[in-house]
Chains A and B, each alone.
Chain A
Amino acid sequence: MSRALHAEWTKLRTLPSTGWLLAALAAVTVLVGAAVTGAVDTSHCATPAGCAEDTPRLALSGVRIAQVAAVALGALAVGGEYAAGTIGATLTAVPRRVTVLAAKAAVVSGAVAASGTAGVLGAVAAGRLILPRNGFTPEHGYPLLSPADGATARAAFGTVLYLVLTALLALGAGAALRDSAAAITAVLALLWIVPVLASLVADDTWQRRLDRFAPMTAGLAVQSTRSLERLPIGPWAGLGVLAAYAVAALLAGGARFAARDA
């Protein structure tokens, strides 16, 4: 397994696209988070405290876009090998297919976790700078953002896990579909379209059900630090829903990868 890990790490590291995707992941998390945070102030509320803005969640909202990079990285890890034809070389070097997939999952997770952590810390730092200027001050009930603060720490750590899980979901989809473009499309559709559909559903009960089982809505519940009782699903339970999707995709992809001719 350690040799397979070494090989997959070398493979990931030696593609220029990996560096670009990881840089984009961190940069988009920070920049979009900063842009969204900068666009919101307390002027539209009766009192600044009355806004009840979930400031950590606001600062971390960049991952909604940045997850595209995580999805692409995950999908390319397997799908890219089918496109380039290197899957044959990979499986002749490491014939145990479950080992190959596990090694890919491990190195992609590590890379996404590292760049996600950088992005999330950057986004929290940007929020700490920007939020007080827009009226979200400690005096108004909005403590300065800090990764050491309990709820913010959970939101930040959970966001990194969210990115890792979306990458794994895409990796499983890539192994099942054997095509990066198809896997990226399928995963982004799952992440983005289900919330849109949920918003179109008139029935409240169904809307809450959809929100509870839509991977992005449920997964991002982990970013919430205020009014948790009003969430359709709890922070960790929500991340668990996304994890279930990722596990299902990895099992489906793994089963196909192990059983089929290469």
Chain B
Amino acid sequence: MEATIEVRGLRKRFGPRLAVDGLSFTAAPGLVTGFVGPNGAGKSTTMRMILGLDRPDEGAALVGGRPYRSLRTPLCHLGAMLDASAVHPARRARDHLRWLAHANGIPARRVGEVIELAGLGSVANRPAGGFSLGMRQRLGIAAALLGDPPALMFDEPVNGLDPEGVAWIRGLLRSLAAQGRAVLVSSHLMSELEGGADHLVVIGRGRVIADTGVAELLAAASGGRTELRTPDRQRAMTALAREGAEVAAAERDAVTVSGLPAERIIEVLTAARVPFTGIAEHRATLEEAYMELTRDAVEFRAGTGGEAL
């Protein structure tokens, strides 16, 4: 079974605030789709609308072509982890998974399977109230996997995790996509998705800013720039600027040059007798690409921030 998570023209207003403003995108089977935007951009609200928890003012969200609320065994179509702390503190982890399984007619042995899959075997019989954040995330992921769904959705799954936990989740997301599932994962930090996502939907102020493959985005952000290392940065920058290049000081002895091909840079520096120790095509990080995209869309300002639920 394959399933696509599809969002079409979603709009949601909370009082005077337009939280989601005509959002459309698709999370396709076999890919990890990163859903990125600053805090308050509307990521959680969008995910809640996909799950039918919040009703959109306009537009629709479909899972495998159907609205979530029309699904008879929804956990077998879309597994989701929105808020890992949303577990009753007095209920044992195993019992939390049990009632979810019962609600969708999922066989009891599947509860044991996801407990093992999420590495919760040793704590499954303890009340969830004593769990660390990392264990709660694992329990949330176990719950999402319970129905063996073809589509999965995680809201900020690595938020607050230690590096080991981050690596585990990244690997898990990759393997779920490799099995042909559609995986939608939100984050407010692009760096968290570095090497983890195939496709990106970047949003800001409730709108899509970019909907692109990770490879294309990086190529565009790296676009025609050259990284230069030189012990005499000042003279190098002056010489290159005189030739019409745009130059920017980067790290201590590095300069980022755009507007001149690498061969021409070498010629200019040689002619001006400026020594240099390295020259390479610039490779943008996801973080840089993201900063460039969201420069105009960042709405997080002091005193007005906070993710709306």
The smallest C-beta distance from B96 to any residue of chain A, in angstroms, reads 8
Is B269 engaged at the interface, CB distance under 8 Å to the other chain?
A: no
Complex Cα–Cα for A88 and B103 (A): 14
For A7, the closest partner residue in chain B by CB is B103
Give the size category of B's interface with A. 20 to 34
* A6-35 contact mask (Cβ, 8 Å, vs B): 1 or 0: 111111001111000000000000000000
- Chain A residues lying within 8 Å of B82, measured Cβ to Cβ, are 88
Interface residue stretch chosen among B87-95, B171-179, B199-207, B233-241? B87-95
Whether A93 contacts B92 by the Cβ 8 Å rule is: no
Whether A95 contacts B52 by the Cβ 8 Å rule is: yes
The smallest C-beta distance from B125 to any residue of chain A, in angstroms, reads 11
- Chain B residues lying within 8 Å of A96, measured Cβ to Cβ, are 69
Contacts of A237-262 to chain B: CB distance below 8 A: 261-262
Is A4 engaged at the interface, CB distance under 8 Å to the other chain?
A: yes
Whether A86 contacts B87 by the Cβ 8 Å rule is: yes
Whether B100 contacts A262 by the Cβ 8 Å rule is: no
With A7-B100, A93-B74, A93-B100 given, is the CB distance from A86 to B52 under 8 Å? no
Whether B86 contacts A93 by the Cβ 8 Å rule is: no
Q: Pick the residue among A8, A86, A91, A94 that contacts B88 (CB under 8 A).
A: A86
Q: Pick the residue among B53, B71, B88, B99 that contacts A7 (CB under 8 A).
A: B99
Is B288 engaged at the interface, CB distance under 8 Å to the other chain?
A: no
* B35-70 contact mask (Cβ, 8 Å, vs A): 1 or 0: 000000000000010011111000000000000110
For A8, the closest partner residue in chain B by CB is B99
Q: Pick the residue among B68, B74, B86, B143 that contacts A84 (CB under 8 A).
A: B86
Q: Pick the residue among A3, A15, A89 that contacts B143 (CB under 8 A).
A: A89
With A84-B86, A86-B86 given, is the CB distance from A14 to B99 under 8 Å? yes
Is A80 engaged at the interface, CB distance under 8 Å to the other chain?
A: yes
User: What number of A residues sit within 8 Å (CB to CB) of B?
Assistant: 28
Whether A14 contacts B91 by the Cβ 8 Å rule is: yes
Is B75 engaged at the interface, CB distance under 8 Å to the other chain?
A: yes
Is A92 engaged at the interface, CB distance under 8 Å to the other chain?
A: yes
Whether B91 contacts A262 by the Cβ 8 Å rule is: no
With A15-B90, A88-B53 given, is the CB distance from A4 to B103 under 8 Å? yes
Complex Cα–Cα for A94 and B85 (A): 20
Whether A89 contacts B55 by the Cβ 8 Å rule is: no
Whether A80 contacts B102 by the Cβ 8 Å rule is: no
Q: Pick the residue among B55, B83, B104 that contacts A93 (CB under 8 A).
A: B104
Most buried by A among B82, B85, B102: B102
- Chain B residues lying within 8 Å of A9, measured Cβ to Cβ, are 102
Is B223 engaged at the interface, CB distance under 8 Å to the other chain?
A: no
- Chain B residues lying within 8 Å of A91, measured Cβ to Cβ, are 51-53
With A7-B99, A10-B99, A89-B143 given, is the CB distance from A16 to B90 under 8 Å? yes
Is A85 engaged at the interface, CB distance under 8 Å to the other chain?
A: yes
- Chain A residues lying within 8 Å of B86, measured Cβ to Cβ, are 84-86, 88-89
Complex Cα–Cα for A261 and B15 (A): 13
Q: Pick the residue among B91, B100, B104 that contacts A15 (CB under 8 A).
A: B91
Whether A85 contacts B85 by the Cβ 8 Å rule is: yes
Whether B89 contacts A84 by the Cβ 8 Å rule is: yes
- Chain A residues lying within 8 Å of B53, measured Cβ to Cβ, are 88, 91-92, 261-262
Whether A7 contacts B87 by the Cβ 8 Å rule is: no
Complex Cα–Cα for A261 and B105 (A): 26
Is B98 engaged at the interface, CB distance under 8 Å to the other chain?
A: yes
Whether A10 contacts B90 by the Cβ 8 Å rule is: no
- Chain A residues lying within 8 Å of B217, measured Cβ to Cβ, are none
Contacts of A159-196 to chain B: CB distance below 8 A: none
- Chain A residues lying within 8 Å of B118, measured Cβ to Cβ, are none
Complex Cα–Cα for A92 and B83 (A): 12
* B234-278 contact mask (Cβ, 8 Å, vs A): 1 or 0: 000000000000000000000000000000000000000000000
15 further interface pairs, Cβ-Cβ under 8 Å (given A7-B103, A86-B86, A90-B103): A9-B102, A14-B95, A14-B96, A15-B88, A85-B85, A88-B82, A88-B86, A91-B51, A91-B53, A92-B52, A92-B80, A93-B99, A95-B68, A95-B69, A261-B53
Query: Which 3 A/B pairs are nearest by Cβ-Cβ distance?
Result: A85-B86, A7-B103, A14-B95
Chain A residues in contact with chain B, CB under 8 A? 3-4, 6-11, 14-17, 80-81, 84-86, 88-96, 261-262
27 sampled A-B residue pairs with Cβ under 8 A: A3-B103, A3-B104, A4-B103, A6-B102, A7-B100, A9-B102, A10-B95, A11-B91, A11-B99, A14-B91, A15-B88, A16-B90, A84-B88, A84-B89, A88-B51, A88-B82, A88-B86, A89-B143, A90-B103, A92-B68, A93-B75, A93-B100, A94-B103, A95-B69, A96-B69, A261-B48, A262-B54
